[in-house]
Amino acid sequence: MPLSEEEQRILSQIEQQFYESDPAFSQRVSQTTLYRHAVRRVVLSVGLLIAGLAFLVATLQVHFAVAFVGFLIMLVAAFVIEKNLRAMGKAGLEQVSANLRTGRRGPSGPTPD
């Protein structure tokens, strides 16, 4: 159901007050995308995957059971990557890749109607 003109006016006033009351917070909120959290977790999981691989290779000389812990670390990281990529979906991946191409981290402020 579309908003009435009065409801749109009230919503615009609330939005304007939000941007005026705390500009730093409103800028942080406006720059945050829905996919930023998932991308951050994917990046951290890739780092964990690489660390698990390094641990696996380094501990293969010690004992295969210790090296298996590195494999488990890699497995958990792969599952986290897969889960977050699925959560982002195709639209999220397209938005992230578009932001990476343009070098943007999100909108710079309130968007006009």
* pLDDT of 45 strictly over 50: yes
Q: How confident is the model at residue 104 (pLDDT cuts 50, 70, 90)?
A: low
Question: Based on the domain organization, do 57 and 87 belong to the same domain?
Answer: yes
Same domain for 27 and 38? Answer: no
**pLDDT for position 21:** 82
Does residue 109 have a pLDDT over 70? no
- Rounded Cα gap, residues 10 and 57, in angstroms: 61
Does residue 7 sit in the same domain as residue 42? no
- 């990529």: which residue's tokens? 85
Do 27 and 67 reside in the same domain of the chain? no
Look at residue 24 and tell me if it is in a domain: yes
Q: How is residue 32 written in tokens?
A: 């945050």
Measured CA to CA, the distance from residue 76 to residue 10 in angstroms comes to 47
Domain that holds residue 15: 1-32
Are residue 19 and residue 73 in the same domain, yes or no? no
The reply to whether 39 and 56 lie within a common domain is: yes
What pLDDT was estimated at residue 71?
A: 95
Residue 71 inside a domain? The answer is yes
**Nearest CA to 109 among 17, 8, 28?**
28
By CB neighbour count within 10 A (0-12 exposed, 13-18 middle, 19+ buried), where does 35 fall? buried
Q: Model pTM?
A: 0.58
pLDDT single digits (tens) 51-102: 999 999 999 999 999 999 999 999 999 999 998 888 877 767 777 777 777 7
Looking at the fold, whether 50 and 98 belong to one and the same domain comes out as: yes
**Is residue 112 situated within a structural domain?**
no
Same domain, 1 and 56: no
